[in-house]
């Protein structure tokens, strides 16, 4: 990774990517769909312009997880990597946990808080939105 880019990839390193060092946004998502696709109680996404993320090695495979939503993953090791939604056609959302340096970004909010697990109570002081930030 350099000061101008973020690098990352899947567990087996068959699918790797480069993205700009500056994400459009970074947020923790608590929706059920993200939980099920990742096997985690919540996930942290960083949004990038779709045309600014470059794949090296194998490209991710995709799965249509719901209408208008495609999730990218490694066909070999199964690592969840990306989210693309019809609501944000120019963006690609990348799971921060797949960055080579996840500390390179800092989350700014919690989204889909209405779906959070009752035993998750972060003390980070970040704003919590019932949907996306634009939905409130």
Whether the pTM exceeds 0.75: the reply is yes
Q: Is the pLDDT of residue 2 over 70?
A: no
CATH number for the region 5-115 comes to 2.170.150.70
> What average pLDDT does the structure give for the chain?
95
Q: Is 52 helix (H, G, I), strand (E, B) or coil?
A: helix
CA atoms within 13 A on the CB side of 64: 3
- Residue 32, φ and ψ in degrees, nearest 5: -60, -40
CA atoms within 13 A on the CB side of 87: 10
* Torsion, Cα of 37, 40, 42, 44 (10° steps): -80
pLDDT digits (tens, 9 = 90+) for 38-94: 999 999 999 999 999 999 999 999 999 999 999 999 999 999 999 999 999 999 999
Confidence bin at 132 (pLDDT 50/70/90): confident
pLDDT digits (tens, 9 = 90+) for 104-114: 999 999 999 99
Ordered by start, the domain boundaries in the chain are 5-115
User: What local confidence, expressed as pLDDT, does residue 78 receive?
Assistant: 96
C-alpha 23/C-alpha 26 separation (Å) is 7
Given 3-state DSSP classes, what are the helix, strand and coil percentages for the chain, each rounded to the nearest 5?
15, 40, 45
């Amino acid at each position: 990774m350099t000061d101008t880019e973020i690098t990352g990839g899947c567990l087996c390193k068959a699918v790797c990517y480069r993205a700009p060092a500056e994400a459009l946004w970074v947020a923790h998502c608590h929706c059920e769909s993200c939980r099920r696709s990742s096997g985690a109680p919540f996930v942290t996404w960083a949004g990038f312009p779709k045309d600014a993320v470059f794949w090296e090695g194998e490209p991710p495979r995709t799965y249509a997880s719901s209408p208008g939503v495609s999730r990218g993953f490694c066909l070999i090791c199964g690592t969840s990597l990306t989210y693309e939604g019809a609501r944000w056609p120019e963006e690609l959302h990348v799971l921060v946990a797949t960055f080579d340096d996840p500390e390179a970004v800092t989350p700014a909010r919690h989204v889909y808080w209405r779906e959070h697990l009752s035993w998750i109570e972060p003390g980070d002081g970040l704003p919590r939105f019932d949907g996306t930030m634009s939905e409130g």
